[in-house]
């Protein structure tokens, strides 16, 4: 999608601070981190919100989680703990309409989230 910020990162128009890439997934550091580790894990395929994912995207959604857990382990937070979250639409505070997992680690997380 041409006017999507994260699609521009996928197609190279904008260069993110990349931490992982494969054929399906890109991961990069959040520009406004809310934890010592704050990585966004996105599919290269444009999916606007979690509501727009279809059955054919099931593997891709799983892969986002696998990449996030791998990055958490690589960063040394597998045992200590971390949070993986995806916001959907306004009530959850979704600002960028290209789905992304937030991987948050390095501080104590609060529950329930704000």
Provide the 3-class DSSP secondary structure of residue 68.
helix
50: left (phi over 0), alpha (psi -120 to 50) or beta: alpha
Provide the 3-class DSSP secondary structure of residue 64.
helix
- Which string of x and - marks every residue 51-70 that binds Zn ion (by CB under 5 A)? --------------------
Question: Residue 79 Cβ, how far from ligand 5GP at the closest point, in Å?
Answer: 25
- Contact of residue 60 among Zn ion, ligand 5GP, none (CB under 5-8 Å per partner type): none
Which of 97, 98, 100, 102 does the annotation list as catalytic? 100
Query: Cβ closer to ligand 5GP: 31 or 54?
Result: 31
Interface with ligand 5GP by CB under 6 A: which residues?
Answer: 5, 16, 28, 30-32, 40, 87, 93-96
The two three-digit tokens of residue 49, written as one number: 């919100």
Burial class (CB in 10 A: 0-12, 13-18, 19+), 98: buried
Candidate residues 44, 45, 46, 63; the one interacting with Zn ion per rule CB under 5 A: 46
Q: Determine whether 38 is an active site residue.
A: no
Provide the 3-class DSSP secondary structure of residue 40.
strand
């Amino acid at each position: 999608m041409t006017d999507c910020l994260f699609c521009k990162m996928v197609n190279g128009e904008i260069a993110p601070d990349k931490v992982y890439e494969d054929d399906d997934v890109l991961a990069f550091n959040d520009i406004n981190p809310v934890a010592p580790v704050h990585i966004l894990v996105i599919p290269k395929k444009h999916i606007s919100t979690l509501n727009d994912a279809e059955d054919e995207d099931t593997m891709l959604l799983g892969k986002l989680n696998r990449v996030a857990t791998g990055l958490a382990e690589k960063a040394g937070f597998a045992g200590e703990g971390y949070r993986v979250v995806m916001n959907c639409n306004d009530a959850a505070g979704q600002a960028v309409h290209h789905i992304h997992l937030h991987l948050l680690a390095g501080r104590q997380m609060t529950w329930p989230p704000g």
